[in-house]
């Protein structure tokens, strides 16, 4: 970019900073993956713009390396600063930044290369760096497609990639061949003796309402069904939490958050989607845009292990009005 347009350069870099620092309006796992996918191309572009903004006399291999190291350093600093702006630092993002910068440097060296063979080899290496940077996000995008395809099944834990959909809090999680009820594996959650141990799926397949209507048709009341198996010890109250895209923490009881009581051994919990939809005090929970599914315990005095499997949606009746009294659940409701 010519040096005679410094204002355009300033606007460009301000826009890049805004993209990297401001909280992003991402509402799905797919959207987050697409944002991550943009890191390498964005940093490649920033490196190219920065290098070609230099006077021609300063454009050398050494200055390209200096520009690349500077852009990498700024990218690393921005990842740390993101913690202060409502976003989170991510090692994979930094790795993508480095690969994007590397691709840009390889491209600049390819343009200045004297030999055609060497030039094409450098361009191929630049493309390979961009492809390598895209692999983690591409895998997530493919898994998002699988989640949509598998609805009304939400989770059956049949491969390791499913674990990437979940996060743990004060708990150790693994796939286990024990106590599986759908397929060959279950989700083993070893909770520590602390407050609020458990697991959550951030950005699950979000259109629960559409899934039960498309796949199940009319019949019994639509339900969320979860299979549990509790290890030895006293009964345990596990809280099931469902949050939609419109949830706000400023309003109390603005999501579905209810305890279910598990006894030792197998239990199947069935929760009517009507009950979930009617749980917020001032509105209906939007089951077409579910954002979080969580299972946790308020407090444990000693470690406990629970196995989870076969999380799915069942039935197909329409979600009724707030005044409809029907509640479809098996098992004991904790008051």
Q: How confident is the model at residue 299 (pLDDT cuts 50, 70, 90)?
A: very high
Question: Which pLDDT score, from 0 to 100, does residue 96 have?
Answer: 94
Question: Which pLDDT score, from 0 to 100, does residue 228 have?
Answer: 98
Between CA 329 and CA 274 the distance in angstroms is 11
Of 110, 132, 149, the one marking the end of a domain is 149
Residues 218-232, mean pLDDT to the nearest whole number: 86
The answer to whether 292 and 232 are in contact (CB under 8 A) is no
Q: Give yes or no: residues 183 and 313 share one domain.
A: yes
Between CA 230 and CA 188 the distance in angstroms is 10
Phi-psi region for residue 265, left (φ > 0), alpha (ψ -120 to 50) or beta? Answer: left
CATH number, domain containing residue 277: 2.60.120.260
Q: Give yes or no: residues 145 and 171 share one domain.
A: no
Who has greater pLDDT, 52 or 82?
A: 52
Q: Give yes or no: residues 182 and 234 share one domain.
A: yes
Q: Give yes or no: residues 316 and 175 share one domain.
A: yes
The answer to whether 305 and 189 are in contact (CB under 8 A) is yes
Question: Which pLDDT score, from 0 to 100, does residue 316 have?
Answer: 59
Q: Give yes or no: residues 129 and 198 share one domain.
A: no
Per-residue model confidence as pLDDT tens digits over 233-291: 899 999 999 999 888 877 788 999 999 999 999 999 999 999 999 999 889 999 999 99
Who has greater pLDDT, 12 or 209?
A: 209
Q: Give yes or no: residues 87 and 124 share one domain.
A: yes
Question: Which pLDDT score, from 0 to 100, does residue 216 have?
Answer: 60
Q: Give yes or no: residues 225 and 117 share one domain.
A: no
Instruction: Report if residue 117 sits inside a domain.
Output: yes
Who has greater pLDDT, 323 or 240?
A: 240
Q: Is pLDDT at 335 greater than 70 in this prediction?
A: no
The Cβ of residue 329 has, within 10 Å, a number of other Cβ atoms equal to 16
Instruction: Report if residue 86 sits inside a domain.
Output: yes
Q: Give yes or no: residues 132 and 240 share one domain.
A: no
The Cβ of residue 275 has, within 10 Å, a number of other Cβ atoms equal to 20
Q: Is pLDDT at 1 greater than 50 in this prediction?
A: no
H or E, element range at 9: helix 6-21
Per-residue model confidence as pLDDT tens digits over 128-175: 999 999 999 999 999 999 999 999 999 999 999 999 999 999 999 999
Give the residue numbers spanning the domain of 274: 151-333
Instruction: Report if residue 1 sits inside a domain.
Output: no
Q: Give yes or no: residues 92 and 187 share one domain.
A: no
Of 97, 128, 149, the one marking the end of a domain is 149
> How much is the CA Rg of the chain, to the nearest whole Å?
25
Q: Give yes or no: residues 324 and 177 share one domain.
A: yes
Q: How confident is the model at residue 183 (pLDDT cuts 50, 70, 90)?
A: very high
Percent over 90 (pLDDT), the chain:
59
Count: domains in the chain = 2
Q: Give yes or no: residues 92 and 177 share one domain.
A: no
Q: Give yes or no: residues 123 and 238 share one domain.
A: no
For the entire predicted model, the pTM comes to: 0.79
Q: Is pLDDT at 3 greater than 80 in this prediction?
A: no
Of 89, 119, 149, the one marking the end of a domain is 149
Residue of 297, 294, 292 whose CA lies nearest to 199: 294
């Amino acid at each position: 970019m010519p040096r005679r347009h410094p204002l355009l350069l300033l606007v460009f870099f301000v826009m890049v900073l805004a993209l990297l620092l401001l909280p992003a309006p991402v509402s799905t796992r797919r959207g987050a993956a697409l944002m991550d996918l943009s890191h390498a191309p964005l940093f490649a572009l920033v490196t190219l713009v920065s290098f070609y903004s230099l006077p021609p006399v300063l454009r050398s291999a050494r200055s390209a390396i200096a520009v690349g190291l500077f852009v990498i350093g700024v990218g690393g600093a921005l990842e740390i600063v993101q913690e202060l702006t409502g976003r989170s630092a991510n090692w994979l993002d930094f790795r993508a930044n480095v690969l994007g910068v590397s691709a840009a440097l390889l491209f600049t060296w390819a343009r200045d290369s004297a030999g055609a063979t060497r030039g094409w080899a450098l361009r191929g290496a630049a493309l390979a760096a961009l492809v390598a940077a895209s692999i983690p996000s591409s895998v997530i995008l493919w898994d998002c497609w699988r989640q949509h395809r598998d609805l009304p099944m939400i989770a059956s834990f049949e491969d390791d990639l499913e674990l990437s959909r979940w996060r743990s809090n004060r708990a150790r999680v693994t796939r286990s061949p024990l106590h599986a009820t759908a397929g060959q594996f279950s989700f083993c959650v070893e909770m520590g003796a602390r407050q609020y141990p458990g697991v959550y799926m951030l950005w699950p397949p979000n259109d629960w309402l559409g899934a039960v209507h498309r796949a199940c048709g009319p019949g019994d009341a639509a339900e969320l069904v979860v299979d549990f198996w509790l290890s030895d010890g006293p009964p345990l109250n596990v809280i099931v939490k469902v949050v939609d895209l419109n949830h706000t923490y400023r309003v109390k009881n603005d999501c579905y958050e209810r305890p279910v009581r598990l006894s030792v051994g197998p239990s199947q919990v069935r929760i009517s989607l009507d009950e979930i939809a009617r749980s917020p005090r001032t509105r209906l929970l939007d089951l077409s845009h579910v954002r979080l599914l969580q299972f946790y315990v308020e407090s444990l005095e000693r470690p406990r292990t629970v196995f989870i499997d076969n999380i799915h949606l069942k039935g197909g009746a329409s979600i009724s009005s707030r005044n409809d009294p029907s509640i479809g659940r098996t098992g004991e409701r904790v008051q």
